[in-house]
Amino acid sequence: MIRHTVVFSLKHEAGSAEEGAFLRDALVLAAIPGVEKFEQLRQVSPKNDYAFGFSMEFTDQAAYAGYNDHPDHVAFVRDRWVPEVGRFLEIDYVPV
C-alpha cells in the first residue's frame, strides 16, 4: 500500500469562490482508477501555515503510476494545480 499525501496553500483568498471551485474540481482525482480512500482535509495545526491536504491510497506502485499518468490527473495538475497552488509539500508513505 502507498499513501499519497500533499499539504498545500492556494493563491486564492480563504473562503473565496475560487477556493471552493478548486476544491470541487479536485474531486475528479477521486474517480481515477486505483485511487482509494481519497480525502480532502483542512489543515488546522498552528505549527505550519498550509491550508489544505489531500490524502489517498493505492494498492501498489502500479496503481500509483497509473494515477500519475492518467489524463485527468495530468490535466488537473497542468490546468489547476500549477496556476493556483502557492506552495505545497508532497509525502508518500508505505507501511513499516
Strands (E), the chain: 2-10, 36-42, 52-58, 85-93
Q: Which domains does the chain have, with CATH numbers?
A: 2-93 (3.30.70.100)
Hey, what's the cell of 88? 505545497
Q: What is the pLDDT of residue 64?
A: 98
Q: What is the pLDDT of residue 95?
A: 95
Predicted confidence (pLDDT) per residue in 22-79, tens digit = 999 999 999 999 999 999 999 999 999 999 999 999 999 999 999 999 999 999 999 9
Q: What is the pTM of this model?
A: 0.92
Kindly give, in sequence order, each residue whose CB lies less than 8 Å from that of residue 75, ignoring residues fewer than 6 positions away. none
For 86, the 3-state DSSP assignment is strand
